[in-house]
Amino acid sequence: MRVAVVGGSGNVGTAVLEALRGAPEVDSVVGLARRLPDRGAEPYRSAEWVTLDIAAEAADDAEEEAIVARLARAFEGATAVVHLAWLIQPNHDRDLLRRANVEGTRRVAEACARAGVAQLVCASSWAAYSPVDDDVPRDETWPAGGIPSSHYGVDKAAQERVLDEFEVAHPEVVVTRMRMALVFAADRGAAIGRYFLGPLVPRALLRPGALPFLPLPRGLRVQVVHAEDVGQAYLLAILQRAGGAFNVAADEVLLPGDLARVLDHGRFFEVPPSVIRPFLHYAWKFRLLASDAGWLDMAMGVPVMDGARVRRLLGWRPRHDAESTLRELLVGMVELRGRPSAPMRPDARQYRGPDTSTGRRSTRRKGTTMTGQHTNGAASAPGSHAQGAIDRELLGIYLADHLTGATGGASRIERMARSYADTELGPELSALATEIAGAREELAGLIDRLGLPSKPHRQAAAWVAEHVGRLKLNGRLLSRSPMSVVLELELMRSAVAGQLGLWQAMVDLAPDLGLDAEPFRELAERSRGFQTRLERLHEHARVSAFRADEKIS
């Protein structure tokens, strides 16, 4: 069995990869992520990886088609696709969140149908449910209308509608909806702190027993589940090809007394939610708190989930109770524990939102690394001290020239992947084509983020030049000789060497541009990986390239 995991480097994705790694029924796993994790560390080492941004903004139908087509190629041969990719931050940018969370789900579902995938397992949430005003447990038949004032709940409910439509259009695909409680574990501490806290919350106060007393919203009840148990629930759903919705939560519901027992010494007092909400709203509005007041509304309004179905049909049993899971998370938040992937990195850097001081805002590809949730601040405004040290005209020319080369390179290797799809080079070329196209998108997003001209006429010229140049690369019109692939691989090796130089230059320039250098280091490392993989392909191809009795097969 082959399984594809979209969002495999995140909180739930890491748990699912760990569960799949231990399952003898699973032969291979492909992980999809916007930024690659450390592929030398488990559980990421056990998967093949494809770089792809499901939130990329498509300028027209052709770009939209290209995104779905790349997803479908990544899903080829998979029995099941697990869709976990979801943006919580930057929650001031609703267009980006909706594009990533709702339209991203639509893209994944469509790609599953094209690739002939038998099962789509999608991460839904307790937040998808319509509000209640009691503590009566609800099963999976309760309406999934979301909490109107919570962007998270609204998008989860919209995702459910996407899945409803997909099930009607494609009854041949089993659709599984995992409606999870809050997913916690110690090594998720740093990531969850970044998503929900801010400079107003001293992390030391989160250590169990540190607070003298605890103020809590009146009527609060919380359901959680340990990440390890979540991974097992997904595995069981895949192995049993179980369709429908499943509520996934630890057995216990945490009430104010339980929360106080963990966070302080059992002392708490209740405050009306209406009193707390304005403080949360304005703290979020002025970026002093990462989470908005909609999370309070959701916590107060969503129903308690009845988890009988997942236990009865899948045989799932949580190994971790709710209180110990919360306690483990709090320690992880204080100690900034994490994993070696971009979403789960063990540090406390917050997303600070886009710079709106100049009145200019990026309108394309806001889901890329340089413009997404993990940048360390925005680029400085024109005329500021930081950007004054950089000649923006020269930088614009430099980046536009690289984008021109990247456009030609991405077009070339995508065409190579199609031409040699039926050969032993095909799978690796296909993976490289997807990842190199993703690197081009990262560069285009950076140019947009800095407000520099991308010179689209150059990109068009590069595309035309590559298509014309391929007509007689080796003296045989549109032929596929062994020498062709050798020459093309050499051209691609030169292209990614130039790309490596670009990202190394950006590491040096990032501080003066008000950008975080770490994403550029990751991109440079990715380019080195491209070089290594292209070298292996070249070594294989050149062995037979010049022998009269051999050909690529």
Nearest of 366, 452, 369 to residue 403 by alpha carbon: 452
Peptide linkage before 519 cis (omega within 30 of 0): no
User: Per-residue pLDDT for 198 more than 80?
Assistant: no
Looking at domain 2-334, what is its CATH homologous superfamily? NAD(P)-binding Rossmann-like Domain (3.40.50.720)
Write down the mean pLDDT value for the chain.
83
CA atoms within 13 A on the CB side of 15: 21
What integer is the mean pLDDT of 157-170?
96
What integer is the mean pLDDT of 184-189?
94
Instruction: Give me the DSSP letters along 218-271.
Output: TT--B-EEEHHHHHHHHHHHHHTT--EEEEE--SPPBPHHHHHHHHSSS-EEEE
Helix (H/G/I), strand (E/B), else coil: 217: strand
Listed by start position, the domains of the chain span 2-334, 369-544
pLDDT of residue 476: 42
Give per-residue pLDDT as tens, 113-162: 999 999 999 999 999 999 999 999 999 999 999 999 999 999 999 999 99
Give per-residue pLDDT as tens, 355-364: 333 333 333 3
pLDDT of residue 416: 85
- In angstroms, the CA 360 to CA 357 distance is 8
Contact in structure between 54 and 84 (CB atoms under 8 Å)? no
Highest mean pLDDT among 91-105, 120-134, 530-544: 120-134
More confident residue, 461 or 502: 502
Close Cβ partners of 293 (under 8 Å, ≥ 6 residues apart):
149, 277, 278, 280, 281, 284
Nearest of 530, 551, 421, 414 to residue 486 by alpha carbon: 551
Exposed (0-12), middle (13-18) or buried (19+): which is 413, by Cβ within 10 Å?
A: buried
What integer is the mean pLDDT of 302-323?
96
Q: Beta 244-248 vs 174-180: how paired, if at all?
A: parallel
- In angstroms, the CA 152 to CA 161 distance is 14
- What is the reported pTM? 0.67
Question: H or E stretch including 531?
Answer: helix 518-544
Query: pLDDT band for position 224 (50/70/90)?
Result: very high
Give per-residue pLDDT as tens, 333-358: 999 999 998 889 887 655 444 333 33
User: Per-residue pLDDT for 384 more than 60?
Assistant: no
**Torsions phi, psi for 427 (to 5 deg):** -60, -45
pLDDT-wise least confident of 99-108, 127-136, 298-307, 438-447: 438-447
Contact in structure between 551 and 544 (CB atoms under 8 Å)? yes
Q: In 10 A of CB 478, how many CB atoms?
A: 10
User: Per-residue pLDDT for 58 more than 90?
Assistant: no
CATH of domain 369-544: 1.20.1260
Query: pLDDT band for position 547 (50/70/90)?
Result: low
pLDDT of residue 385: 35
pLDDT of residue 318: 96
Considering only CA atoms, give the Rg of the chain. Answer: 24
- In angstroms, the CA 151 to CA 355 distance is 22
Highest mean pLDDT among 68-82, 374-388, 434-448: 68-82
